[in-house]
Amino acid sequence: MTELVEQARAAVLRFFRASSDEYVVIFTPNATGAMRLVGEAYPFQSGDRFLLTFDNHNSVNGIREFARARGAETTYVPSEAPELRVNEMLLARYLGAVVGEHQNLFAYPAQSNFSGVQHPLGWIEQAHAHGWDVLLDAAAYVPTNRLDLSRWHPDFVALSFYKMFGWPTGVGALLARRDALAKLERPWFSGGTIVAAFVQREWYQSAPGAAHFEDGTVNFLNLPAVEIGLRLLERIGIETIHARVETVGSYLLESLGTLRHANRTPAAVIYGPRDFDRRGATIAFNFLHPDGRIVDERYVDLLAREHNISLRTGCFCNPGAGEVAFTISRETLVGGEFGESITLDGYIRQLGLPSGGAVRASLGLASNFADVRRFSDFAHGFVDLAVVPSDLPPRTSC
């Protein structure tokens, strides 16, 4: 098993063209686990900065709690509607506004799991030039895009393998540059992460490399499947997958963007880029009634399930992108009263939102034109839809 696990580790390095002199592969339960490893062990201190984009998964947003506990300051770089891209002038200003010797961490997604926007990998070098460490959330990017770690050198890369090839679930990775990894200070030790520990003296010695970050038993029965999955992607070719998803995705984007009611008003609103310039095939949208109101996303979800179409609704664990897409201001959030016992529906009412979020269609390795045609037929079912049933179930998660 050890041999197979090490083989899987080497396969990950090979797939991402990462040199073993530069990078270490740490297996985690998922992308979130990779993010947590960085967050809990990054040596934040008072005066340090944690900079991140509005557009981030909650598994990155949550790192701000580690930063806060250690006295570091968190700053968000906003996205701007309608494309939901980052204001790069502002980003450059934030990256440049560091003085003295500090441990500063910048985190962003290579591809948004909300809008599909692909944020520039060039930010890595830009941040490095000002002494920042960079955590690249590559979870949504790597299933359909080449991440070449001989070209780009983020300090930390987080990903989940099931998003790349469907199986196994419960296995992710943190790819970490050796020098960045050496900076991390784990808050504890556990089985598997040390060379030795004493009981009569509170001393332990950390295991070298990846082992120090892999708590307990690794998922050894599933890890060999990672190599098989990566081989599958190699055989098809990630560039081929990329081109395929872009072609099928363009069709999907076009069919949603041109959907009209009989009165010629749009039957859908898309959040994010309207064409395939610097974006992936994750498309967030809402259907609209002929009078311009948003079609309740719960109804869309219900119908999609009846049609055997897998969609997601809500804010996709990405509140920052949602706040910009739905024009929720800082003042509204800061001034609002959100008690501990508030329900999701209560929160949506309190913010005055017209729905519980967007609808998201994502394409990948397995998607084909027949899927998109079927989705397009499904979307045409919303044309001239004036009302939806009033007895939709309460919302439980965003």
Minimum Å gap between C-beta 32 and ligand PLP is 3
Active site residues: 317
* Strand partners of residue 51: 75, 106
Closer CB to ligand PLP, 332 or 396, in the complex? 396
Distance of closest approach, residue 33 Cβ to ligand PLP, in angstroms = 7
**Between residues 140 and 270, which has the closer beta carbon with respect to ligand PLP?**
140
Of 23, 14, 15, the C-alpha closest to 210 is 23
Site string for ligand PLP, 26-55 (x = CB under 6 A): ----xxx-----------------------
Strand partners of residue 204 = 197
**Helices of type H across the chain:** 2-15, 31-41, 58-61, 63-69, 88-96, 122-129, 162-165, 178-181, 223-236, 238-257, 297-306, 319-325, 330-335, 344-351, 369-380
User: How many residues bind to ligand PLP according to rule CB under 6 A?
Assistant: 12
Rule CB under 6 A: is residue 181 a binding residue for ligand PLP? no
Contact between 377 and 324 under an 8 Å Cβ cutoff? The reply is: no
**Residue from 48, 133, 137, 323 binding ligand PLP (CB under 6 A):** 137
When binding is defined by CB under 6 A, the residue of 154, 172, 319, 357 that contacts ligand PLP is 172
- Would you say 203 and 197 are in contact if contact means Cβ atoms under 8 Å apart? yes
Question: Does residue 320 bind ligand PLP (CB under 6 A)?
Answer: no
77 binds ligand PLP (CB under 6 A): no
229 near ligand PLP, judged by CB under 6 A: no
Alpha-carbon torsion, ordered 227, 184, 126, 11, to 10 deg: -10
Question: Contacting ligand PLP (CB under 6 A), which of 124, 139, 241, 315?
Answer: 139
Q: Taking the mean position of all CA atoms in its chain, how far away is CA 294?
A: 25
367 contributes a contact to ligand PLP by CB under 6 A: no
Is residue 110 within 8 Å of residue 132, measured between CB atoms?
no
- Contact call for residue 115 and ligand PLP (CB under 6 A): no
193: which residues sit within 8 A by CB, 6+ positions away? 186, 206, 207, 211, 212, 213, 214, 215
One of 61, 104, 160, 367 touching ligand PLP (CB under 6 A): 160
User: In the bound complex, what is the minimum distance in angstroms from residue 120's beta carbon to ligand PLP?
Assistant: 16
**Binding test (CB under 6 A) with ligand PLP, winner from 48, 50, 109, 314:** 109
| Per CB under 6 A, 281 contacts ligand PLP | no
Residue 372's nearest CA partner among 193, 285, 245, 277 is: 245
Nearest-approach distance from CB 52 to ligand PLP, in angstroms: 12
Answer for which of 57, 64, 119, 244 binds ligand PLP (CB under 6 A) is 57
Does the protein bind ligand PLP through residue 72 (CB under 6 A)? no
Token look-up 């519980």 returns 356
Nearest distance from residue 170's CB to ligand PLP, in Å?
9
Is residue 219 at the binding interface for ligand PLP, with CB under 6 A as the rule? Answer: no
Q: ω into residue 393 within 30 of 0, thus cis? A: no
Q: DSSP label at 190?
A: -
Does 59 help bind ligand PLP (rule: CB under 6 A)?
yes
Q: How far is the CB of 284 from ligand PLP (least distance, A)?
A: 12
Question: Counting contacts by CB under 6 A, is residue 79 touching ligand PLP?
Answer: no
3-state secondary structure of 15: helix
Q: At 321, phi and psi to the nearest 5?
A: -65, -40
Give me the residues that bind ligand PLP (CB under 6 A), please: 30-32, 57, 59, 109, 113, 137, 139-140, 160, 172
